């Protein structure tokens, strides 16, 4: 019986993660001219944040529904 049966899959995930981050970091800068400076107070809140909030509300409502149903 193995002492750590999850170790090969964990090592594989680590290797894949390390190999995938190299190309993401090694991006060349654009030569299309100067980039416009973003407003320092601008926060990129888009549809992802609202979907996350909506899923949290739905999850909470489901938990309340299940709790009331169990009584």
State the pLDDT at residue 59: 94
State the pLDDT at residue 24: 64
State the pLDDT at residue 36: 67
State the pLDDT at residue 49: 78
What value does the mean pLDDT take over residues 48-60? Answer: 88
Long-range contacts of 21-24 (CB under 8 A, 24+ apart): none
pTM, full prediction:
0.38
Confidence of residue 50 (pLDDT cuts 50, 70, 90): confident
Give the whole-angstrom CA distance, residue 15 versus residue 50: 34
The values of phi and psi at residue 33, to 5°, are: 110, -175
Higher-pLDDT residue of 62 and 17 is 62
């Amino acid at each position: 019986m193995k002492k750590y049966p999850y170790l090969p899959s964990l090592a594989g995930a680590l290797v894949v993660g390390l190999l995938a981050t190299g190309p993401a970091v090694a991006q060349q800068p654009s030569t299309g001219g100067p980039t416009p400076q973003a407003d320092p107070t601008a926060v990129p809140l888009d549809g992802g944040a609202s979907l996350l909030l909506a899923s949290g509300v739905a999850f909470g409502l489901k938990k309340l529904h299940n709790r009331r149903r169990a009584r």
